[in-house]
Every structure is written in C-alpha cells, then in structure tokens.
C-alpha cells in the first residue's frame, strides 16, 4: 500500500536534483563564459543644445464683440481677402436660430439635389448598388482625410437614399411626388428668408481686409513681439518677456497671420552661439507642444551682453502647424552623425602586417575594429570611429568600394564580442 507514495517521492527528488544540476551548470557556464556579446545597430547622434525662446509672426488681432462667437476657419487655415472669419451673435437665441437656419438650408439643398437627379432614378437593385458605391467613396475620403468633395459626396449619398425610399413614387404608391417636393422647397425658402431677416438684427459677420493664415488663439504677445522689433531685443529683454503673462484681449475673435515667414528668437551663451553662422541653416527640433523638425536660417546673431547673445532664426515652412506655439523649449541641432552603434569596450586597436605584392616590402599599421561572431568564428571587422559617447561609439565600416571585397564589412545586426580573451581573426568561439 505504501509503494505508490514512496515511488512518487523518489521521482520528485530525482527531478528536483536534475533541476538543481541544470541550474548549477548554467550558472557556472555563465560565470566562466570567456565572451560577452552585444548586437550592433544603426543609429544617429546629434550635437545639439537646448534653448528656450519665442515664436514671432506678423499678426493682426481680429476684433469683435458678441455673446456667442462662431469661428468659421480652422486653426492654421488659409483665409482670402474679404472672407468672413467669424460670426458674432448678440445672444444665445441668435446662435440657436443660426443652427435652425443651417438645418433648413441643408434640407433644401438635399431636396434640390435629389430633384436634379430624379430623371436618372432606376430600379431598386441599381439604386442599392449606387448607395453602396457612394458609402464606399465617402468612407475612403474620410479615411484618407481628403475632404475636398466631402459635401458633394454627402449630398449625393442622401439623394440616393431619398430615391431608394421611394421619394419619387406615385401618389397611389404612397410616395412623394416631384410637385410635393417642389412645394416643400418653397416652404423651406420662406422659412429661411424669415430667419435671415431676424438674423440681420443681432448677427454680425467679421471679415478680413487681407489674406493670411487664421489662428483662433490670442495670447497678448501679438503687440509685444513683432518681426520689426526683433533686432532690438537683448537677452535681458527676453528674460523679462519670459516672466510676463500678458493681458489677453477679451474682445478678440482670433488673429490673422499675414506673412508665411516666422521667427524663433532665443538667448544663447557666446560659447553656444559660436556654433552658428549668419546665413546658414540649423535644424530646430520641437518635441513638446508640437513634434517636428524644421530647418531654419540663422537670421541674426546679436552683440554679446553679459556673456549671452540674442539669436534670431527664420523659416517659411510649417506655419500652419505652429500657429498655436509661442514660448517653446527646443533642441538646436548643429550636426548629425550616422553610423553603427557598438559598445566602447568592443573597440580594439591592433597591428596588421601588409606586404606589397610588387616590392615585397612589409609594413605594419595600426587598425581599429571590432570582433564579430560569424558562424562559429570571431571575425575582425575594421571600422572608423566617428563619434564617442558615454558607454558606446558610433562607427562606420571601412570598405574598399571594390565589388566582392567588402563582404567582411561591419553591418547593423552583427553580433559583436564585447569582452573576450586571446581573440584573433578566425578563432573558433562556439
């Protein structure tokens, strides 16, 4: 009766002992492994400094006064001269009236569009196919964020749905006749005219006198920071601006940016500014309120004051993406280096003997490289160190440019030997 439990205990002890032996061997091999490796991979490193400054644009504040403000343009959208950028309503009732007016106008447009398409109405099967096609087209436009024909596509779909619902049936069939739809359009026109007459008394349209880019945010810096006043700004002035919280204009309904060129102004130490040259480009990397990089021209380097200089950068790119930005901390990237990242410990300098086949002369030169594991062997791959950082180096493989001779060149993804004893080219390591 006791043989079964005893056998189970013996098996459990054997399995436990085997597990302990396996773990012991693994730990012993790990502690005595003569090689540690790492994977080399492509990377780019930057020489950059952090700077805090202001975005400056040619801006005109758009004034308006109303209980309810309806901005008609999106942030960063282009505005033509004479266009209405906002509608001001004297009360909440006026704004609600506007919603009713839009609903009536949409219904009228749908009916008018349906009437223009009535002659083409066919059987239900064909209409069903056209509805599916219209839905697919509309979905594709939304997915690709192409809204250029969104309104027309929506009206077309609604018209087909009207037709599919027997909008053009006969009176005997219980449908709506063309004459009844025309009467409905006349009723809608009368209601729209009445609402428009009421709106003229408590609704105001705000237009712009010149073209530009619309922004709905007015922060008070529009008059404190202007392109014309940038050259007179000192590092001390920028410090004062950083400590300010300008009073916002409560009567503003937005602003118009009238030039595509915008500026970034900041203060740098003389040592940092020495990396810049007037007229040259520098990459400015935004990573907080907006993620993106833009190449900006060094417009001006101000005179040194107290060991610091005012730096003015300019560009005409990405204006629509940066209209909401004002005070920003960015990275000024002076230069970038690309290559393959390897641990610093993996870099080795060795002597290599080379014999000239023509003269028979043998020369010894110092070469820098890394050992990579290729198959079961260690293979020396010559590299050039282009940058050294804490704990790692960025290198580029040394190649001859001759087809078929660069198979041993270092590549991203190679397994690099970081530490090892008595390494040599061709040594079996596995």
Give the least confident one: 29-38, 352-361, 411-420: 29-38
| Residue 167 clears pLDDT 50, i.e. is over it | no
* Residue 7 DSSP code: H
Residue 145 tokens read as 């964020």
Beta strands in 164-307 (DSSP E): 203-207, 212-215, 252-257, 262-269, 281-287, 291-301
| pLDDT at res. 148 | 64
Residue of higher predicted confidence among 430 and 394: 394
Structure confidence at residue 318 (pLDDT): 96
For residue 258, which of 309, 214, 195, 313 has the smallest C-alpha distance? 214
Distance of CA 235 to the CA centre of its chain: 31
CATH number of 36-41+340-419: 2.40.420.20
Residue 351 pLDDT > 90, yes or no?
no
Please tell me what DSSP assigns to residue 76: T
The position carrying tokens 């959208």 is 77
More confident residue, 276 or 163: 276
- Looking at residue 399, its pLDDT comes to 84
Q: How far is the C-alpha of 157 from the C-alpha of 142, rounded, in Å?
A: 14
Task: Please classify residue 4 by burial: count the beta carbons closer than 10 Å to its beta carbon, then call 0-12 exposed, 13-18 middle and 19+ buried.
Answer: exposed
Q: Using alpha carbons, select from 203, 294, 233 the residue that is nearest to residue 54.
A: 233
**Per-residue pLDDT at 360:** 75
pLDDT at 161: 72
Angle subtended at Cα 295 by Cα 291 and Cα 299, rounded to the nearest 5 degrees: 125
Asked whether residue 173 carries a pLDDT value surpassing 60, the answer given is no
pLDDT in tens, 178-206: 787 788 888 888 888 888 777 767 788 89
- How do residues 112-153 score in pLDDT, each as one tens digit? 766 766 544 445 567 677 788 888 888 887 777 766 677 677
Reported CATH class of domain 49-60+217-336: mainly beta
Residue 24 has what pLDDT?
74
pLDDT at position 211 over 90: yes
Burial class (CB in 10 A: 0-12, 13-18, 19+), 354: exposed
- Residue in this structure with the two tokens 């000024």, named with its chain if needed: 332
Question: What pLDDT does residue 56 have?
Answer: 98
For the question of whether the overall pTM of this predicted structure is more than 0.75, the answer is no
Q: CA of 173: how far to CAs of 166, 168, 180, in Å?
A: 9, 10, 14
For residues 297 and 313, the answer to whether their CB atoms sit within 8 Å is: yes
Query: Do residues 319 and 79 lie in contact, with contact meaning Cβ atoms separated by under 8 Å?
Result: no
Q: What is the mean pLDDT of the chain?
A: 85
Integer Cα distance of 298 and 263 in angstroms:
10
From CA 291, how far away is CA 287, in angstroms rounded?
4
* pLDDT score of 259: 96
Cβ atoms 246, 221 nearer than 8 A: yes
> What percent of the chain lies above the pLDDT cut of 90?
48
> Tens digit of pLDDT for each residue in 300-344?
999 999 999 999 999 999 999 999 999 999 999 998 999 999 999
Higher pLDDT, 379 or 110: 379
Q: Could you report the per-residue pLDDT of 234-254, keeping only the tens digit for each?
A: 999 999 999 998 988 888 999
Taking residues 43-71, report their average pLDDT.
Answer: 91
Residues in the chain: 430
């Amino acid at each position: 009766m006791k043989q079964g439990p005893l056998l189970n205990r013996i098996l459990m002890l054997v399995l436990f002992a085997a597990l302990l032996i396996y773990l012991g061997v693994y730990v012993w091999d790990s502690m005595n492994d003569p090689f540690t490796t790492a994977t080399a991979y492509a990377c780019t490193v930057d020489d950059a400094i952090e700077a805090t400054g202001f975005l400056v644009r040619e801006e005109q504040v758009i004034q308006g006064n109303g209980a309810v403000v309806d901005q008609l343009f999106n942030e960063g959208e282009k505005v033509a001269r004479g266009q209405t950028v906002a509608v001001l309503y004297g009360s909440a009732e006026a704004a609600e009236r506007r919603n009713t007016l839009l609903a009536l106008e949409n219904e009228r447009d749908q009916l008018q569009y349906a009437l223009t398409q009535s002659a083409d109405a066919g059987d239900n099967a064909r209409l069903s196919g056209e509805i599916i096609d219209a839905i697919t087209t509309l979905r594709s436009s939304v997915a690709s964020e192409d809204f250029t024909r969104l309104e027309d596509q929506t009206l077309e779909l609604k018209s087909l749905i009207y037709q599919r619902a027997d909008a053009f049936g006969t009176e005997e069939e219980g449908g709506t006749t063309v004459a009844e739809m025309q009467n409905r359009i006349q009723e809608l026109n009368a209601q729209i005219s009445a609402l428009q007459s009421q709106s003229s008394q408590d609704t105001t349209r705000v237009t712009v006198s010149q073209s530009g880019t619309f922004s709905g945010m007015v922060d008070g810096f529009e008059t404190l920071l202007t392109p014309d006043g940038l050259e007179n700004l000192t590092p001390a002035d920028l410090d004062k601006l950083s400590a300010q919280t300008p009073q916002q204009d409560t009567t503003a309904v937005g602003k118009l940016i009238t030039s595509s060129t915008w500026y970034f102004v900041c203060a740098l130490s003389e040592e940092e500014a020495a990396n810049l040259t007037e007229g040259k480009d520098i990459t400015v990397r935004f990573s907080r309120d907006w993620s993106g990089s833009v190449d900006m021209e060094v417009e001006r380097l101000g005179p040194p004051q107290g060991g610091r200089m005012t730096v003015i950068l300019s560009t005409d790119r990405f204006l629509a993406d940066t209209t909401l930005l004002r005070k920003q901390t960015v990275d000024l990237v002076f230069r970038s280096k690309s290559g393959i990242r390897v641990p610093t410990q993996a870099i080795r300098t060795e002597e290599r003997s080379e014999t000239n086949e023509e003269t028979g002369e043998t020369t010894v030169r110092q070469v820098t490289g890394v050992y990579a594991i290729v198959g079961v062997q260690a293979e020396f791959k010559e590299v050039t160190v282009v940058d050294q950082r804490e704990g790692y180096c960025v290198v580029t493989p040394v190649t001859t440019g001759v087809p078929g001779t660069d198979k041993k060149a270092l590549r991203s993804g190679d397994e690099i030997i970081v530490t090892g004893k008595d390494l040599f080219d061709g040594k079996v390591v596995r």
